[in-house]
Amino acid sequence: MKKYLSIILALALVLSLSVPVFAANESSAQTDLSFTAELAAPSYTVTIPSSLNLNLGDTYLPIEISEVENIDNKAVVVTFEGTQQSAGVNQFITLLEPPKGVLSGIYYGIYDINNLRIGGGSNVISAGLYLVAMNGEGEANIRINIPTDTPDIVPGATYQGHIVFGIKLVEL
More reliable by pLDDT, 30 or 140: 140
Percent of the chain with pLDDT over 70: 77
Q: What is the mean pLDDT of residues 85-93?
A: 63
- pTM, to two decimals: 0.71
Q: What is the mean pLDDT of residues 143-164?
A: 87
Q: Please state which of the ranges 57-61, 145-149, 166-170 shows the lowest mean pLDDT.
A: 145-149
The Cα 130–Cα 112 span in angstroms is 8
Architecture per CATH, 43-171: Sandwich (2.60)
Please choose, from the candidates 132, 163, 164, the residue with its C-alpha nearest in 3D space to the C-alpha of residue 46.
132
More reliable by pLDDT, 30 or 47: 47
